[in-house]
Amino acid sequence: MSRKGNGLDNSRMENFFSHFKTECFHLHSFRTAEEVKDAVHQYIRFYNHQRFQKK
């Protein structure tokens, strides 16, 4: 967790969640918690192994 009022401490996670929301979460409508869980697992696998990462 970051220190209070210091967004730079947590910038990598903020970046990940921004991509997650725009590339996965807002594109689907979920009916059950299980669907959300599956989508999160699939997106994390995609993000780590297939998504182009500019380094």
pLDDT attached to residue 40: 93
Q: Is residue 51 part of a domain?
A: yes
pLDDT for 32 equals: 95
Q: How many independent structural domains does the chain possess?
A: 1
Query: What's the per-residue H, E or C state across the chain?
Result: CCCCCCHHHHHHHHHHHHHHHHHCHHHCCCCCHHHHHHHHHHHHHHHHHCCCCCC
pLDDT at 33: 95
Q: Is residue 14 part of a domain?
A: no
Q: Is residue 49 part of a domain?
A: yes
Residue 39 lies in a domain: yes
Position 11 in a domain: no
Residue 25 domain-assigned (yes or no): no
For the chain of 55 residues, list the mean pLDDT of each consecutive stretch of 10.
66 84 89 94 90 73
Integer Cα distance of 1 and 7 in angstroms: 10
| Structure token pair of residue 27 | 């594109």
46 domain residue, yes or no: yes
pLDDT of amino acid 12: 79
Q: Would you state the pLDDT for residue 16?
A: 84
Query: Could you tell me the two tokens for 16?
Result: 């990940």
The reported pLDDT for the residue numbered 25 is 86
Q: What confidence score (pLDDT) does residue 6 get?
A: 66
**Which structural domain, as residue segments, surrounds residue 53?**
30-55
Who's near 14: CB < 8 A, 6+ residues apart?
7
Does some domain include residue 38?
Answer: yes
